[in-house]
Amino acid sequence: MVRRVAVIGAGVGGLASVKCCLDEGLEPTCFERSEDIGGVWRYTDSTDDRRVSVYRSVITNTSKEMSCFSDFPFPEDFPSYLPHSLLLEYFRMYARQFDLLRHIRFKTTALSVRKCPDFATSGQWEVVTETDDVRESHIFDAVMVCTGHYQEPYLPLDSFPGIDTRFKGQYLHSQEYKDMEAFQGKRVLVVGIGNTGGDLSVELSHVAAKVFLSARSNTWVTSRVSDHGFPLDMVSTTRFNHFLEWLLPSALIRRIKFWKLNSWFNHANYGLASTKSSKFKMIINEELPFCLLSGTVVLKPSVKEFTENSAVFEDGTTEENIDVVLFATGYVSPFPFLEESARSLFDNNRSLYKCVFPPQLEKPTLAIIGLVQLTGSIMVGSEMQARWVTGVFAGWNKLPAPSRMMAEVLKRKPPVKSNPSERENLKMSFIGYTDEIAACAGVKPSLLRLLLTDPRLALAVFFGPCTPYQFRLVGRGRWSGARNAILTQWQRTLKPLRTRVVDEDSNSSSSWCWMCLLALPLTLTAGFLLSKYPRLGWGPAQGL
């Protein structure tokens, strides 16, 4: 019987895990090595303690309605995309609302997490912590590891000959970057074109003499601002779109995505991506295309080697007088506190059942929260994992036999990608994954039942954004405010924009609503028939 649960880390996943433990009547103790909550989202100027945090100017890539805790919406006056200060304020509000802080031990480092000698029967763990140079040993019935992706910088110097032997300039990892002041008037090379590499290139272009951005892979660029000015993820992340991706051939879906992205600007003209590529890597950046167009950022291929003051690229070109090389090459997650016998059971999330449980353990009392790459908000994914896991610990949710879990892991295990930037290509569908975990936890909404009992809500759930409130409509942890939160999500999105009101046509949208309402049962029927009779059309195996 699990009662006492150790939670490692007080970031997004840690806060959600503590709250879910309390919801299930468990007794959580959270160990946080820093002095405050927030994890990477708590900005600090210092890099001395090697704690990973965001840079000063960072703005979220997912909107507030798509990123909130499922029973705690953001304040309606918060903007859709948030600076780190507002996001941290929201975390504090969440912690106060559910009285989480009294369960967190700050400035306490988890040194080791080891199986107890009788683990095969008890499933218990010995957790050794250190606070102010004083070590303590604790026994817990279960452990939730909530340290996430951003643990240690990945700096592959061996892949860049000359960088640490011949190059006379400065080089650093993006983890050390805080603001652009130190780069005034310098020629900067940014290596890596993920979201961080794109953001830093744009920001540095305002003060640097020149910024070069080295990209190894095809990369598509999109904007947070979508059709009619709405947040991108609220428009694109819908169950209807997810159904179409399941229904239509993946090649057709890919062509549609390429067409949509190229309708903003032709990526091949900018040297970013080609429609001939089979891979689909996308970053969010509104300003990068203009920086490339204005020449303040220059796109380059992979770096071949470094000389004393220059970078030589794979296409044979050379850029002279490079002052700083900034590596935006991602992070690794080594989990140094886990004993080797437990750590060896998984390689990142590739060997975890549902990206959470090591399937080979004799007892399912170790869970890894937030170690998953999603096409949407990791905050929502982490909370869903925590709800499922605490249900397992409390005995409400059951796991399959270890052999069945291992078979599923082997079946779904993707190709090994040692480079964090390459792992971006392995992101899982946000709706697909959260639905899968929600089904395990017994909280996935039934569209057919909603259609029969609450057509208006069914319409919003299927055609509207897949916001986290959908997973509070049914099952354990059901929230009475979920329905209203779904039906008012667009009002909260527009509220912070209503600082100046202008007259507009008040055309009725009732006809459109009726069309959607009629389309919903047809869509559900088509999905049922295609899943039951795959010869009628394309089945799930051919979807994205």
Q: How confident is residue 289, by pLDDT bands cut at 50, 70 and 90?
A: very high
- Count Cα atoms within 13 angstroms, Cβ side, for 32: 24
| Confidence at residue 415, expressed as pLDDT on a 0 to 100 scale | 58
What residue type is assigned to position 456 of the chain? R
| Confidence at residue 84, expressed as pLDDT on a 0 to 100 scale | 97
By mean pLDDT, which of 285-294, 411-420, 448-457, 495-504 is the weakest? 411-420
What residue type is assigned to position 201 of the chain? S
Beta strand pairing call for 125-131 and 303-306: unpaired
pLDDT digits (tens, 9 = 90+) for 417-437: 556 555 554 589 999 999 999
Name which of 502, 430, 501, 441 is nearest 472 in CA terms.
Answer: 441
* Those residues with Cβ within 8 angstroms of residue 354's Cβ, 6 or more apart along the chain or in another chain: 385, 388, 436, 437, 440
**Residue 342 pLDDT > 90, yes or no?**
no
Q: How confident is residue 508, by pLDDT bands cut at 50, 70 and 90?
A: very low
Q: What CA–CA distance (Å, rounded) separates 468 from 491?
A: 16
Query: For residue 212, what is the enclosing H or E element?
Result: strand 210-214
pLDDT digits (tens, 9 = 90+) for 520-541: 666 666 555 555 554 444 333 3
By mean pLDDT, which of 157-171, 300-314, 339-353, 424-438 is the weakest? 339-353
Q: Kindly report the number of other CB atoms within 10 A of residue 458's CB atom.
A: 23
Q: What CA–CA distance (Å, rounded) separates 113 from 485?
A: 40
Q: What CA–CA distance (Å, rounded) separates 468 from 435?
A: 11
The count of residues in the chain is: 544
Q: Determine the 3-state secondary structure of 28 from DSSP.
A: strand
* 472, burial (CB in 10 Å: exposed 0-12, middle 13-18, buried 19+): buried
- Which domains, and CATH codes, for the chain? 4-151+333-412 (3.50.50.60), 155-329 (3.50.50.60)
* 422, burial (CB in 10 Å: exposed 0-12, middle 13-18, buried 19+): middle
Percent of the residues in the chain that have a pLDDT greater than 70, as a whole number? 89
Name which of 274, 309, 332 is nearest 169 in CA terms.
Answer: 309
Model pTM above 0.95: no
pLDDT digits (tens, 9 = 90+) for 160-178: 999 999 999 999 999 999 9
Q: What CA–CA distance (Å, rounded) separates 261 from 281?
A: 12
The values of phi and psi at residue 412, to 5°, are -100, 0
- Per-residue H/E/C for 138-163: EEECEEEECCCCCCEECCCHHHCCCC
* 135, burial (CB in 10 Å: exposed 0-12, middle 13-18, buried 19+): exposed
